């Protein structure tokens, strides 16, 4: 549904997006991560035809964003981080106006507006002026606007900004539900939201795609922590020669207990095999535990070293 090839965007001497490539299939919910200024919002604006690319190509729903912008807009619902609303209009008036602009048929328009009011939890403020709403409610009006023409693709930039915890939970549940029948590209700084709804994560750093992996891979087993009553060097040697073990790091010894951190090949869970080898040597196991890395840890591994170097 979305194809991006060598997409580049320059603002004068500033290279905001640098040869970005990725593909999003129908029905995927993709998380787009990156630090402020990484190029996420610029990429989204190009995909929604708000900005032209300097070079490269992007197709959305099979239409070229450069030469077929109207067809792209008909197939995309876009929620920008700062939602541009008309403060002097009432909520239902605004959604009616936007539905007309987006070509929603007159016969089905009232039903579609009612659906969006319900799903975005804004029915109770439908007769209020947009300018009197809190940031959270304005954000949800923007989401209703993005959904109003029932597009097959949703591009959402920070959709939960300004929402309270209950509203965030409801919005994420809605995004997950919408993703059953739609393609969704979601940008957020709250990594737990990515873990809650996304199937794949694309990380953009300094304008380039630095990682594009399924969420299940990011949440795979990262290391095994072991505490053994035994001599450090001998235990380490046994651990290193266990099939499937990639690397063993000794963390120290205290009171006759040696601690180790073990990385396995392909993220395999080797706790049973490790326990059996330790037991055969007559050593006691005080602890053996698997640790899985979070999306945040993978993200920081990719961007933090570079940022630290830059700060110096």
Q: What's the per-residue H, E or C state across the chain?
A: CEEEEEEEEEECCEEEEEEEEEEECCCCEEEEECCCCCCHHHHHHHHCCCCCCCEEEEEECCEECCCCHHHHHHHEEEECCCCCCCCCCEHHHHHHHHHHHCCCCCCCHHHHHHHHHHHCCCHHHCCCEHHHCCHHHHHHHHHHHHHCCCCCEEEEECCCCCCCHHHHHHHHHHHHHHCCCCEEEEECCCHHHHHHHCCEEEEEECCEEEEEEEHHHHCCEEEEEEEEECCHHHHHHHHHCCCCEEEEEEEEEECCEEEEEEEEHHHCCCHHHHHHHHHHCCCEEEEEEEEECCHHHHHHHHHHHHHHHHHC
pLDDT at 307 over 90: no
pLDDT digits (tens, 9 = 90+) for 52-104: 999 999 999 999 999 999 999 999 999 998 888 999 999 999 999 999 999 99
pLDDT at 312 over 60: no
User: What would the mean pLDDT of 295-300 be, rounded to a whole number?
Assistant: 77
Alpha-carbon distance 61 to 65, whole Å? 10
CA 97 to chain centroid, in Å, comes to 31
pLDDT digits (tens, 9 = 90+) for 167-217: 889 889 989 988 888 999 999 888 888 888 999 999 999 999 988 988 877
Domains in the chain, start-ordered, CATH in brackets?
2-217 (3.40.50.300), 221-292 (3.30.70.1340)
Q: Which of 1-5, 96-100, 293-297, 307-311 shows the lowest mean pLDDT across its residues?
A: 307-311
**pLDDT of the residue at 191:** 83
**pLDDT of the residue at 292:** 73
Query: Within 13 Å of residue 185, how many CA atoms lie on the same side as its CB?
Result: 29
Q: How confident is the model at residue 311 (pLDDT cuts 50, 70, 90)?
A: very low
Q: How confident is the model at residue 146 (pLDDT cuts 50, 70, 90)?
A: very high
pLDDT at 308 over 70: no
pTM: 0.78
pLDDT at 310 over 50: no
pLDDT at 302 over 90: no
pLDDT at 153 over 70: yes
**pLDDT of the residue at 219:** 63
């Amino acid at each position: 549904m979305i194809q991006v090839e060598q997409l580049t965007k320059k603002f004068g001497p500033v290279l905001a997006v640098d040869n970005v490539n990725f593909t999003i299939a129908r029905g995927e919910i993709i998380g787009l991560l990156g630090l402020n200024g990484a190029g996420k919002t610029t990429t989204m604006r190009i995909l929604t035809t708000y900005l032209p690319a300097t070079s490269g190509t992007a197709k959305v729903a099979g239409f070229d964003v450069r030469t077929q912008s109207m067809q792209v807009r008909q197939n995309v619902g876009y929620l920008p981080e700062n939602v541009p609303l008309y403060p002097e209009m009432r909520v239902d008036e605004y959604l009616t106006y936007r539905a007309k602009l987006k070509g929603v048929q007159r016969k089905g328009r009232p039903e579609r507006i009612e659906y969006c009011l319900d799903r975005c939890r804004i029915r109770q403020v439908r007769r209020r002026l947009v300018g009197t709403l809190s940031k959270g409610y304005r954000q949800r009006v923007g989401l209703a606007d993005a959904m109003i023409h029932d597009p097959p693709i949703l591009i959402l930039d920070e959709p939960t900004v300004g929402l309270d915890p209950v509203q965030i939970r409801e919005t994420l549940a809605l995004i997950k539900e919408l993703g059953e029948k739609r393609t969704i590209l979601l940008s957020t700084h709250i990594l737990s939201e990515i873990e809650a709804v996304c199937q794949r994560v694309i990380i953009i750093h300094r304008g380039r795609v630095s990682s594009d992996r399924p969420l299940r891979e990011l949440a795979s087993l990262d290391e095994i922590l072991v505490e053994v009553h035994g001599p450090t060097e001998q235990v380490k040697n046994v651990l290193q020669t266990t099939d499937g073990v990639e690397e063993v790091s000794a963390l120290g010894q205290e009171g006759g207990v040696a601690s180790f951190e073990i990385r396995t090949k392909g993220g395999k869970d080797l706790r049973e095999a490790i326990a059996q080898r330790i037991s055969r040597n007559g050593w006691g196991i005080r602890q053996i535990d698997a640790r899985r890395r979070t999306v945040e840890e993978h993200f920081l591994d990719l961007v933090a070293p570079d940022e630290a170097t830059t700060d110096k």
